[in-house]
Structure 1
Amino acid sequence: MELYQLRTFVAVARAGHLTRAAEGLHVSQPAVSAHIKALEDELGVALFTRSARGMGLTPQGQALLARAQSVLEQAEELTRAARSLRQQLDGELKIALNTDAEFLRVRELLSVLRAEHPALGVHLPQNMSHFIAEEVRAGSLDGGFVYGEAPPQGLEAVPLCSFRLVVIGPLAWRERLAGATWADLAREPWVWYSDALPCHASVQRWIAPYECRLSKVAVTDYEGTIRALVQSGAGLGIMREDEGARCEGAGEAFVWRGDSLPMNAYFLYRRDRESDPAMRAVLAALRAVWGLEQPLASAHMRA
C-alpha cells in the first residue's frame, strides 16, 4: 500500500468522479483508476460503486475513508517533524545578565527558545554591563544584557526598554528626608556604584549641577549589596525605580520623591553573528518576549 494510493482514494471520495479527482491530483484518469484498483485488490474490498453519475463509496469505503485521511495526516505530521529536526539548533549559547532575571524576562526568553529549539542550551553568567560589552566584543560571549544612556560603540544593540533610577534610603530616614534637596542628601552616607558600571558616569552627570560631594561609606558593583546595605541603615543608594517601589511596598526602604535619572536596557551582540542561526533564534525570541516590532530594530554603533 502506498500513500499516493490513499491520496487518490480520498480525492475520488471527495470529488465523486474519476475525471475531477484526476484533475485535482494532476494525473491522468487511467492512473487514478489504476490506483483505486490496486488499493482495492490489496485491501480485498470494493471501495466504490461505479455508475453513470460517478463514483459512490461502498459501506466498506465509507468505513475506511476516515482511517485513510488519518494516515495521510499522520504522514504529513511526520514530514513536518523531520523537516523541523533538520533545522533544529543545538549547542550552547553564552548570554550574560547584568541584573536580575525577572527584569530581563529571562524565564520567558528561555521558554520561547526551548519551545522552538529544545536542543539549544543557554549558559547565563552574571557580570557588570561594562565587562559584558567587552566580552561580547571579544567574542567570549555570544550576547548580553546591559544598561546605558546609549549603547556601547562597535556592537549591535537591541533597545529593550527604558526605565528610571531613583534614590532609596533606610525606612527610618523617610520622615527626616521627605523634603530633602540634593544638597541635603549629599550630607548623608551613601552606598555607591563602582565606577566600572555604565550608570556611574550617568549618575555623576545627574548630580553635577548640584555641586554635591557625596560621602561614600561603601562602593559596590552589585545591586543586591546596595539594597541590603540600604535596608540595614548603612546609607542611601540608587536603584531601578521598579526595585525601589518593591522595597518601599515591602516596608524595607523608602524612595526619595526628588528627581530621577532615565536609563535604557539593551541586548548586545556582534554584527558578524547576525546571520548565525542560533543568534537569529535569540533575536526572534527577544522580539516575541519584549513585543518588539518586526523586523527587530537595532542600534548600529561603530567604533
Structure 2
Amino acid sequence: MFVQLNFTHAAFIFFERYTYGGPMQLSQLRSFIAIAREQNLTRAANNLNLSQSAISSQLKALEDELGVSLFRRSTRGMSLSDEGRILLEQAEEVLAACVNLQRSAQSLSRGATVSVTIGLNTDPTFLRVSAINQRLSLLHTNLNVVFHATETASTVQQLKNGLIDLGFFYGSLPDADIAEATIAHVRICVAIPNRLIESGEPLDWNVLAELPWVWVDDKFSPYQLLATKLGDMTKPPQRMVSASNEQIVRELVIAGQGVALMREDEARPLAEAGNVTLWTKGWSNMPLKLGWLREKKSLPHIRHAREAICHIWAAEGDVSEGDLTGKAWL
C-alpha cells in the first residue's frame, strides 16, 4: 500500500532541512502557528493550554533552531516578520503532512486497506482537522485518512477525477453530480490596512475602490457576496494583486499592501492589534460546505468521514468568551 503525503515542494524543503537537521519539535511549530494567528502570546497560550512562559520558550527554541526572528514585538502584540511570513505557510503544511503520516502509519499497523481523501479549501486549524482525524481514528480503525490541500474553484473537478472523496468549499457548487451539506456560516468582512487610510476618514465603496486590493478570483464566493450586497454601487477596484489562497491574502493585508475580504476570525485579531480597520458596510455571511459525489454517498468510507466532520462541527459550536474561532459561526 502506498502512502501519499501532500507536501508542496517548499514545505518538503522546510521539513527536510529543519526537522531532520536539528531538534525542532512539532509542538514548537504549533506554538509558532498559534501566535501568528492570534498575534498575542496570552491568547495563543490559552488556545494551546500552555503557560505563557512555556509557549515563549518554545518560540525562542524554534527561532534559535531556524536562525531567524519570526515575529516583531511591540506593545500592541506580535506581528510576523518577513521571514516569519515566508515560513508560516510551510510550517502549516508540515503539520498537516505529519498528521497524515501519523494516521497512515497507524492504519498500516492495523492492516487498514480503505482510504478516504478529504479536500481542505482553507487552513487545517480553522477546519478542525485534528479533531476530525481523532474521531475517525477512534471510531474507524481500519480507515486510512488523507488530507489534501484544495481550492473551492477546483472542488468539483477533483471530486469527479477521484483526487478527493469529500471536499470543503465556500458557497455552492452548481453541479447535479455533487451532493453537499452546510457545515457552518462564516462571517466575512472587508479588512483595510490602516496605513492606507487617514484616521477618521469616511469610508464608502468609492473610496475603497481607489485603494489597492488583494484579490483571489471574481468567482471566489466572498467577492460574489460583496458584489451582491453592494449592488449598483459596485465598481471594480482600480489596482489589484492576485493571490492564490487565503493565507497569502492575510499576509499581504498584514504587510499593508492591500484591502481584502477576510474571515472574521482572521481579521478581528488584526483589528485589535491596530493593523486594520473593518469596514462597517462590508459584513456578510458565507456558507462553508462539504461536498461529495452523489453516486458515492452510500459508500462506507465516505459516509463515515461525512458523519465525523458534521459531528465535530456541531459539537464544537459553543466556545468560551474570547475564542474567536466560534465567531466564524452564525
TM-score range, shorter chain: 0.5 to 0.7
Q: Does 1:92 align with 2:120?
A: no
Decide whether aligned partners of structure 1 residues 195 and 127 sit closer, same or farther in structure 2, where only a CA change above 3 A counts.
farther
CA contact (8 A) 1:165 1:241 kept: yes
Q: Which of the numbers 138, 142, 147 marks the counterpart of 1:119?
A: 142
Aligned residue number for residue 215 of structure 2: 192
Q: Does 1:264 align with 2:264?
A: no
- Which residue type is aligned with residue 189 of structure 2? V
- Partners of 1:176 and 1:98 lie apart in 2 by 35
- Partners of 1:259 and 1:252 lie apart in 2 by 17
Q: Does 1:152 align with 2:177?
A: no
TM-score normalised to structure 2 length: 0.57
CA contact (8 A) 2:191 2:279 kept: yes
Q: Does 1:227 align with 2:250?
A: yes
Decide whether aligned partners of structure 1 residues 252 and 153 sit closer, same or farther in structure 2, where only a CA change above 3 A counts.
same
Helix, strand or coil at the partner of 1:99 = coil
- Partners of 1:285 and 1:178 lie apart in 2 by 47
- Partners of 1:153 and 1:177 lie apart in 2 by 45
- Which structure: larger Rg? 1
CA contact (8 A) 1:174 1:254 kept: no
Decide whether aligned partners of structure 1 residues 219 and 207 sit closer, same or farther in structure 2, where only a CA change above 3 A counts.
farther
Per-residue deviation, 1:128:
1.3
CA contact (8 A) 2:180 2:292 kept: yes
- Which residue type is aligned with residue 119 of structure 1? N
- Partners of 2:202 and 2:140 lie apart in 1 by 53
- Which residue type is aligned with residue 277 of structure 1? P
Q: Which of the numbers 300, 312, 315 marks the counterpart of 1:277?
A: 300
- Partners of 1:286 and 1:95 lie apart in 2 by 10
- Which residue type is aligned with residue 163 of structure 1? V
Identity of aligned residues (%): 26
Aligned residue number for residue 204 of structure 1: 227
Q: Which of the numbers 168, 173, 192 marks the counterpart of 1:169?
A: 192
Aligned residue number for residue 124 of structure 2: 101
- Partners of 1:104 and 1:159 lie apart in 2 by 13
Helix, strand or coil at the partner of 1:275 = coil
- Partners of 1:268 and 1:107 lie apart in 2 by 20
- Partners of 1:225 and 1:106 lie apart in 2 by 20
Per-residue deviation, 1:153:
2.3
- Which residue type is aligned with residue 164 of structure 2? L
TM-score normalised to structure 1 length: 0.61
CA contact (8 A) 2:120 2:150 kept: yes
Count of equivalent residues:
204
Deviations 1:100-120 (A, max 9, x none): 112212111111001112332
Query: Which segments of 5 or more consecutive residues in structure 2 lack a partner in the other structure?
Result: 1-110, 316-330
Decide whether aligned partners of structure 1 residues 151 and 213 sit closer, same or farther in structure 2, where only a CA change above 3 A counts.
closer
Per-residue deviation, 1:132:
1.4
CA contact (8 A) 1:244 1:254 kept: no
- Which residue type is aligned with residue 152 of structure 1? P
Query: Which segments of 5 or more consecutive residues in structure 1 lack a partner in the other structure?
Result: 1-87, 293-303
Decide whether aligned partners of structure 1 residues 192 and 207 sit closer, same or farther in structure 2, where only a CA change above 3 A counts.
farther
Aligned residue number for residue 134 of structure 1: 157
CA contact (8 A) 2:166 2:290 kept: yes
Per-residue deviation, 1:134:
1.9
Per-residue deviation, 1:173:
4.0
Aligned residue number for residue 206 of structure 2: 183
Per-residue deviation, 1:243:
1.3
CA contact (8 A) 1:168 1:254 kept: yes
Aligned-pair RMSD on alpha carbons? 2.3
Per-residue deviation, 1:236:
0.7
Per-residue deviation, 1:222:
1.0
Helix, strand or coil at the partner of 2:298 = coil
- Which residue type is aligned with residue 175 of structure 2? Q
Decide whether aligned partners of structure 1 residues 166 and 114 sit closer, same or farther in structure 2, where only a CA change above 3 A counts.
same
Per-residue deviation, 1:278:
0.7
